[in-house]
């Protein structure tokens, strides 16, 4: 078993992190389209449950069987399946793997639940270290209003109700999200996250992201030559896909 930082693959791994409502899913979807148009083989790995673990996880949540430790472990099991199927094989094949949320989501969420910080980090030692890990930083008030607008109900674990922070789900969610943000901030230096200002206009963020990714693409195999746009970034198509992505990701949850 290879441990974090010791993997060497021809492929590249770019991941986005941040709280719900930070716009990270939009950014990685745009990055994906750009990479494809540049001729790269791109594999997109979602934070969804793997088929193997899905049943147990949703049952555990529905019946509220999970303690902070088993919550952490069942998600680590899920992530291991994702690593063994969706991440390592494409990286070995020289592809660019993109992931919406990664181990840092687990670090933030599990520690916010009271699991030992060091233990969670050891638990995820099997994970591949990303080429670049983007953290979309957004003021808590902004992300909360983006999420809570139009949401009638918050799920039990999503709102951190298992922590007993507050009997009101919205208040509990707010306190839980604050803890998560604190953990993310502490990880910026510890885990080498690349901080992105998620309050900037979407095309500006995307331009920065591409500029940061580009140097890491040297030597990565392309399937075809880049598709040429007359005005460089082609903002019209960017904005169009932004809207598509926003519609698609409006139901996202942690």
Partner 1 sequence: MTQLTFYGIDAIGLKARNELLPGRLIVIEGTDGVGRSTQLNLLRPWLESSGYAVVDSEMTTSVLVGAGLKRAKEGNTLGSITLNLFYCTDFVDRFEDQILPALRAGFIVLTDRYIYSLMARALVRGADPAWLRSIYGLALRPDAIFYLKVGIEDIIPRILQGSGFDYWESGMDLRLGNDLYESFINYQTLLLAEYEKMAAPYDFQVIDATLPAEVIAEQLKRKILPLLPHG
Residues at the site binding partner 1, with contacts judged by CB under 8 A: 1, 3, 51-53, 55-56, 59-60, 65-67, 69-70, 73-74, 76-77, 80-81, 83-85, 114-116, 118-120, 122-123, 125-126
Say if residues 57 and 78 touch (Cβ distance below 8 Å): yes
Closer CB to partner 1, 101 or 137, in the complex: 101
Minimum CB separation from partner 1 for residue 56, in Å?
4
Give the count of alpha carbons within 13 A of 250, CB side only. Answer: 9
Q: Residue 59 CB, nearest distance to partner 1 (Å)?
A: 8
- The distance of closest approach from Cβ of residue 63 to partner 1 in the complex, given in angstroms and rounded to an integer, is 8
Q: Are 184 and 17 in contact (CB under 8 A)?
A: yes
What is the spatial distance between Cα 110 and Cα 118, in angstroms, rounded to a whole number? 11
Nearer to partner 1, 16 or 115 (CB): 115
Helix or strand holding residue 42 (H, E) = strand 42-45
Contact 79, 99 (CB under 8 A): no
List, in sequence order, every residue forming a beta bridge with 136; answer none if it has no partner.
196
Residue number with CB closer to partner 1 (53 or 112):
53
- Identify the residue whose tokens are 């199927």: 85
Closer residue to partner 1 in complex, CB, 122/204: 122
Q: Give the integer Cα–Cα distance in Å for 27 and 99.
A: 11
Q: Output 56 or 235, the one with its CB closest to partner 1.
A: 56
Q: What gap in Å lies between CA 96 and CA 217, rounded to an integer?
A: 9
């Amino acid at each position: 078993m290879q441990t974090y930082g010791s993997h060497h693959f021809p492929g590249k791994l770019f991941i986005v992190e941040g709280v719900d409502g930070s716009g990270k899913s939009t950014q990685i979807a745009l990055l994906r389209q750009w990479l494809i148009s540049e001729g790269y083989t791109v594999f997109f790995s979602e934070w969804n449950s793997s088929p193997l673990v899905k049943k147990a996880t949703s049952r555990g949540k529905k019946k509220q069987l999970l303690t902070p430790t088993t919550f952490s472990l069942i998600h680590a099991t899920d992530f291991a399946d994702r690593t063994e199927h969706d991440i390592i094989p494409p990286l070995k094949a020289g592809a660019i793997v993109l992931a919406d949320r990664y181990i840092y989501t687990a670090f933030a969420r599990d520690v916010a639940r009271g699991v030992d910080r060091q233990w969670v980090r050891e638990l995820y030692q099997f994970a591949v270290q990303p080429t670049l890990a983007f953290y979309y930083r957004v003021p808590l008030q902004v992300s909360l209003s983006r999420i809570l607008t139009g949401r009638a109900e918050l799920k039990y674990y999503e709102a951190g109700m298992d922590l007993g922070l507050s009997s009101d789900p919205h208040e509990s969610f707010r306190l839980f999200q604050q803890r998560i943000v604190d953990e993310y901030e502490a990880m910026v230096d510890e885990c080498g996250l690349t901080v992105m200002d998620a309050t900037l206009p979407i095309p500006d963020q995307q331009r920065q992201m591409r500029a940061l990714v580009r140097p890491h693409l040297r030597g990565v195999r392309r399937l075809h030559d880049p598709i040429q746009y007359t005005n460089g970034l082609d903002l019209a198509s960017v904005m169009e896909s932004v809207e598509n992505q926003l519609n698609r990701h409006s139901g996202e949850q942690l």
